[in-house]
Amino acid sequence: MPTTLKVRDETTGGKTTNEFSLEFLTERVTVRELIRSRVYQEVQDFNRECGGLFRGLVQPTGAEQVLNGFRFSKPRQIDWKAQLDQAVAAFEAGRILIIMDDTQAGSLDDEIELRADTDVAFLRLMPLVGG
């Protein structure tokens, strides 16, 4: 039986900016698998809708950042594998934090036990201008 996990994006102030569900076939996944599932779903959803605002984990190549997401000047499809590579690199560089039940994920190999009440939040850190 699949496990549905509620996931959200948060700001550093704790405000939720995006919320969605992911389904997994197992009761335990690694942080890498969590990122992969999230990126795959958000890219598939964007590509199916044929454009508009992309509210993904990382900025796609060729897109500009706008309020609450990223936008392309011309509609196009996004490559989920390229997005996954960028997301993994951002996590490893500390630009993306993943908080699971009030504990920060330390590595891509950390495991998450999936329960109906598992709390998962993604936090994107933005570099300071001039800092």
The CATH number of whichever domain residue 38 belongs to comes to: 3.10.20
pTM for this model (two decimals): 0.91
Residues contacting residue 112 through CB under 8 Å, at least 6 positions apart: 28, 29, 30, 31, 34, 100, 105, 118, 120
Whether 129 is in a domain gets the answer no
Structure tokens at 117: 């009440």
The answer to whether residue 23 sits within a structural domain is yes
Q: What is the pLDDT of residue 129?
A: 58
131 lies in some domain: no
Q: Facing residues of 66 across strands?
A: 69
Range of the domain at 112: 3-124
Contact 104, 122 (CB under 8 A): no
Classify each residue of 69-84 as buried b or exposed e, where b means 16 or more C-beta atoms within 10 Å of its C-beta. Answer: bbebeeeeebebeebb
Residue 21 lies in a domain: yes
The total number of structural domains that make up the chain: 1
Q: Tell me the mean pLDDT per 10 residues along the chain, length 131.
A: 89 86 93 97 92 90 89 92 97 95 94 90 78 51
In a domain, 55, yes or no: yes
